[in-house]
Every structure is written in structure tokens, then in C-alpha cells.
């Protein structure tokens, strides 16, 4: 459990197969105790360019390996991640705060993406197309795009890396990972295991430092052909603008504001149980978590009573390394303030506080799991992504009203609804403005499914057979003289 003794705990960046230090460092703080976890190099333009050139040099040899050869190395990486589940989970829990059991589940998810794309490496198929002119044939090839930069967030510091890096590597691309400065140690631990797995120098690089400095270098370099980013919509817009001069391929997984709709014909016990998982996983700090609970008026009282009771009886707040706790801290003081402000605004505009509602005194950025009743569209919490353990409950009367409320958002990442009506399943799914829909379930992420959204929630997909397409370019061959 003492993570400092883990061979995976590194306080250096990883460039071209070497561990790199710097006199300038960034401190990483444990959000549970507000104590120092460690430091990492605060790299600048020179070191970022070093990583880019290393990835560029490594690209052609890596691309020229057969798909099976790349697959073997990816499978080695997968096995090592699984073997080091405990070490990875402890490091993640220490720097990010999530409960250890949740961290272990994320390691499993992280490994699953590597395994999936190790197999997909061998399934990058081209096409032959009928030609209208005699004596000619059309062949379409798929080729790796080149050097790819993966800029990843703090809330899922392992799985968001492998969702990007694994398909890129499988396709034949090389990768530069820029993890969040809140959670760099998880990324560096993956680099240790990648080195052990046999990736050649330069194929995987992990750079740490201030996002505004490193991001500018990555977006401006013409050697970097692809940017993949998970984070806020505001930062996504900046990266897209900064990448426009070099016309990079870009994929963005941005903010979410998922509605969770419960119809009167739903299995209420199931809906309550799934609502707990969807809302309070990672203390509400997930882009696909339920943010707005829309409950049909005829069952509002029954659902809210059972939901409030479960929140009060089942959620225990504390350090992620305490085995009896299932709600960790928020990531920092600003996150706590945002939650407080949304709650105060809702109460001032007529909502009722049913559970929780305040920060927990003492060290750490802990906040009580909170339920608000009778939320309305005029409240900030109806429009802003919360990223915290607050569940606002809205009433609705008709299916059309539920759809209007659900779609009244700039975001379009995920949505959930509960019903036993098969016709309604199709009506709702086709009319909801989002990239992913959970029906009678509060969890929808899987390595086999295309993860991503619409509207201000971004573009592109991660995971599934579609995920590797983000790292490939089409090349068309017109072959003549065949008569």
C-alpha cells in the first residue's frame, strides 16, 4: 500500500526511452489530505520539441512493423497493466482521490482498451472498388496518420490514456501523452510498463508540465499530425483554434450534462440503483454521469424518497485508501466552490435541499453527497456541468416535455432513460440529441462501444472498431494498364 516504494512511481518525464528531469517542477497534491504526493518536471518548449522529434524518428520503423508484431507488444503491455493492478490503483487513488475499489475498476478498463486494440491492429482492412473504366482497378489502403498527441484529464487518468494511445499504437502511430498536472503519476506508471512491454524508444513519450506551454508546442508543430483531447469544452475550442494553422486531424471528448429520465412505467427500484451508480461514481466527477434527474410527476415522490434514503444510507465519504469509503474528495478547492455556488443558486430560486449540501470540515476537498428537489430550468445547475456529488431532481409531465428539457443543453454527450415501453425506447433514442444513450442502465462505457458526443461535447469516437479510424488516413490507388 506504500505507493512510494512501487517501481511504477516515477517523478520524471519519459522521452525517447529515457527518464528526464528538470530543475523546474510541479507539485502534485493529494486531494484527500492536501499533502504533497510528489513532484514532476515542468517541461518547456525545448523538451516538448525533443519528444516530438523522438516520436517522429520512431514513426517509420514502428509503422513498418507488421500489425501482428505491434499487436504482440500491445498484448505485453496489457498483461503488465493487469499484473500491476494494485500498484496502479494505489497511485491513482493517492493523486486523484477516488476510492481504491473504483481505481481498481479503472485499471481493468484501462487494460481492456489495450487488449481490444491489440486485436484491432490486425483488422485494419482496405477496400477494392469497382471501376467504370476498363483496364483499371481501384484499391483503398489505410495508413497510420503519424505522430499523435494525447492530452488527457485527471478524472480518469489511466483509461483516458489507453483509449487514445492504444488505437494510435495499434494503427502504427507514435504517441506523446500530456497528462493532467493533477494526476501525472498514473501516466508515468503506464510509461514504466510500456518500456517493460518492449515498445521501442520514441514510440510512447510522456511529458509533464503546464498545459498552456506544452499544448501550444504540440498544436503548432507540423510534425504532430493528430491531437486527441479529453477535457473542458473551453479548452477544446482553444486546441481546435491553435491546431487550425497546421490543419491537424483532431478529436475532442468534452463536457457533458447528461439527463437521467425516469418514466412512470419504469422499474423504480432499478432506476434508483442505477441513478446512484451513474451520479456518484467518482464523486460525480465524470463527463457521462447523470447531471439532471427528470422524473415523471406521478412517480416523483416515490422515486425521490427511495433515492434520498439510498444516498443517506449507502454513501460514505473519506480518503480513497480507506477500504470502507466509497466517496472520495473533489479534485481541488475550486471544484468545491463551484458545487457550493450551484446549490446556493438553486435554493435561492426555489429548490429544496433534501440531503447533504455542504463541504465537510477538515483537510481534504470533501463534499457531502447532495440531493436537491424541484429543480427548474432557470437554475445554474440546469445548464452548467456540475462535476460533483449533487443530484438535482426535476419534474415533468409528458414525454415531449422530458425531451424538451433533456435537449435544452449545449452539451450532447450522454443521456439515460428508464421505461418498459419498447416503442418509447426507439422514439426517445432517435430524438435525444447526444452521442450515447443508456436505456435502463446508468453505465454505458465499454471498450467495444464508440464513446463520444455531439454539439459542444465534441467530435470523434474512442473505443470500438470505430476508434482506430481516428488514427488512420485513406490512400486511394488507381491501377491502370490491366487489359
Domains delineated in the chain: 3-254+457-476 (3.40.605.10), 258-449 (3.40.309.10)
Strand residues in 384-460 grouped as ranges (E): 390-396, 411-412, 414-418, 436-439, 454-455, 458-459
| Three-state secondary-structure class, residue 179 | coil
157 burial (CB, 10 Å; 0-12 / 13-18 / 19+) is: buried
Per-residue confidence (pLDDT) for residue 29, from 0 to 100: 97
Shortest CA distance to 369 belongs to which of 318, 312, 293? 312
DSSP 8-state code for residue 5: G
What pLDDT is attached to residue 4?
Answer: 61
What value does the mean pLDDT take over residues 161-176? 98
392 within 8 A of 293, measured Cβ to Cβ: yes
Q: Nine-digit cell at 70?
A: 505491434
- Residue 453 · residue 434 · CB < 8 Å: yes
> Distances from the Cα of 3 to the Cαs of 34, 187, 369, 411, in angstroms?
17, 15, 28, 38
C-alpha cell of residue 391: 443530484
- Which residues share a beta bridge with 462? 451
Active site residues: 253, 287
What average pLDDT does this structure show over 259-276?
A: 98
268-277 pLDDT, tens digit each: 999 999 999 9
Rg (CA), the chain: 23
Helices (H), 84-158: 85-96, 100-120
Q: Give the model confidence (pLDDT) of 318-348 as tens digits.
A: 998 988 899 999 999 999 999 999 999 999 9
Q: What is the mean pLDDT of residues 424-451?
A: 97
Q: Is 240 a residue whose pLDDT tops 80?
A: yes
pLDDT at residue 3, as a whole number:
58
Amino acid at each position: 500500500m506504500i505507493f512510494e516504494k512501487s517501481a511504477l512511481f516515477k517523478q520524471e518525464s519519459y522521452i525517447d526511452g529515457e527518464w528526464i528531469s528538470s530543475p523546474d517542477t510541479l507539485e502534485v497534491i493529494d486531494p484527500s489530505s492536501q499533502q504533497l504526493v510528489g513532484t514532476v518536471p515542468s517541461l518547456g518548449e525545448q523538451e516538448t520539441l525533443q519528444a516530438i522529434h523522438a516520436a517522429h524518428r520512431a514513426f517509420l520503423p514502428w509503422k513498418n512493423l507488421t500489425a501482428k508484431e505491434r499487436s504482440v507488444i500491445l498484448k505485453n503491455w496489457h498483461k503488465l497493466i493487469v499484473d500491476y493492478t494494485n500498484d496502479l490503483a494505489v497511485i491513482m487513488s493517492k493523486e486523484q482521490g477516488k476510492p481504491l475499489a473504483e481505481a481498481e475498476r479503472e485499471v481493468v478498463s484501462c487494460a481492456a482498451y489495450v487488449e481490444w486494440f491489440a486485436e484491432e491492429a490486425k483488422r485494419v482492412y482496405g477496400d477494392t472498388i469497382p471501376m467504370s473504366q476498363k483496364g483499371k482497378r481501384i484499391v483503398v489502403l489505410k495508413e497510420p496518420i503519424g505522430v499523435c498527441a494525447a492530452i488527457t484529464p485527471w478524472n480518469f487518468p489511466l483509461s483516458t490514456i489507453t483509449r487514445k494511445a492504444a488505437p494510435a499504437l495499434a494503427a502504427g502511430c507514435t504517441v506523446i501523452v500530456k497528462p493532467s498536472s493533477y494526476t501525472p503519476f498514473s501516466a508515468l506508471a503506464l510509461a514504466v510498463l510500456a518500456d517493460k512491454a518492449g515498445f521501442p524508444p520514441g514510440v510512447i513519450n510522456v511529458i509533464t508540465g503546464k498545459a498552456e506551454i506544452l499544448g501550444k508546442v504540440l498544436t503548432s508543430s507540423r510534425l504532430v499530425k493528430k491531437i486527441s483531447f479529453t477535457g473542458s469544452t473551453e479548452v477544446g475550442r482553444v486546441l481546435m483554434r491553435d491546431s487550425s494553422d497546421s490543419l491537424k486531424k483532431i478529436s475532442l471528448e468534452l463536457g457533458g450534462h447528461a439527463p437521467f429520465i425516469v418514466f412512470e412505467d419504469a422499474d423504480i427500484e432499478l432506476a434508483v440503483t442505477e441513478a446512484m451508480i451513474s451520479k456518484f461514481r467518482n464523486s460525480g466527477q465524470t463527463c457521462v454521469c447523470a447531471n439532471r434527474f427528470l422524473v415523471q410527476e406521478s412517480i416523483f415522490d416515490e422515486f425521490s424518497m427511495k433515492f434520498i434514503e439510498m444516498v443517506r444510507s449507502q454513501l460514505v465519504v473519506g480518503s480513497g485508501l480507506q477500504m470502507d469509503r466509497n466517496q472520495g474528495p473533489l479534485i481541488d478547492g475550486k471544484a468545491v466552490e463551484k458545487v457550493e455556488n450551484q446549490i446556493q443558486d438553486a435554493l435561492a430560486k426555489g429548490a429544496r435541499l433534501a440531503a447533504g449540501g455542504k463541504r465537510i470540515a477538515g483537510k481534504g476537498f470533501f463534499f457531502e453527497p447532495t440531493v436537491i428537489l424541484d429543480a427548474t430550468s432557470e437554475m445554474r445547475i440546469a445548464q452548467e456541468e456540475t462535476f460533483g456529488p449533487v443530484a438535482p431532481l426535476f419534474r415533468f409531465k409528458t414525454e415531449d416535455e422530458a425531451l424538451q428539457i433533456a435537449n435544452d443543453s449545449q452539451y450532447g454527450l450522454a443521456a439515460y432513460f428508464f421505461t418498459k415501453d419498447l416503442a418509447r425506447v426507439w422514439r426517445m433514442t432517435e430524438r435525444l440529441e447526444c452521442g450515447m444513450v443508456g436505456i435502463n442502465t446508468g453505465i454505458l462505457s465499454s471498450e467495444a462501444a464508440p464513446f463520444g458526443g455531439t454539439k459542444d461535447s465534441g467530435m470523434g469516437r474512442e473505443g470500438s472498431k470505430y476508434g482506430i479510424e481516428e488514427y488512420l488516413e485513406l490512400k486511394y490507388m488507381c491501377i491502370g494498364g490491366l487489359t
